[in-house]
Amino acid sequence: MLEVISSNDSVMTTPEQGLRRQTMATSDPASTKQMMLVRHRMDAGWVGARHAHPNEQLIYIVSGEIALTVDDDNYTLRTGDSIMIPGGAEHQASAPVASEVLDVFTPARDDYR
């Protein structure tokens, strides 16, 4: 039977100040084609650390606005926009306004399980 994961603010973790996270649907760890959906809520003024990971990351802006730097290129993403970040690319995001984002990672991130 499949598992339905409901959006639930009460189960969100706070990995850093101004950022809340809920890991949603995730592939079976034994699958060769792993994928993971993660919901993030950012407070206005949140600035994330610049980082890279081997996972491809698809970002969809549910609400708000995100300033994103990938390598040396700058992007502004608003409600309804999406972008794909290749695995290994250095990137940094910030939220000038309260925002909600859905991220799809492939393969799934073990550190988010």
- The string of pLDDT tens digits covering residues 46-100 is 999 999 999 999 999 999 999 999 999 999 999 999 999 999 999 999 999 999 9
What CATH superfamily classification does 44-113 receive?
A: Jelly Rolls (2.60.120.10)
How high is the pLDDT of residue 1?
A: 82
pTM over 0.95: no
Positive or negative torsion for Cα 101, 105, 110, 113: positive
Cβ atoms of 83 and 104 closer than 8 Å? no
d(CA 56, CA 89): 9
For residue 89, what are the contacts with CB-CB under 8 A and spacing of at least 6?
52, 70, 71
Q: Which amino acid is at 112?
A: Y
Put the strands of the sheet holding 73-78 in their side by side order.
46-47, 91-95, 65-70, 73-78
**What is the pLDDT, as a whole number, of residue 59?**
98
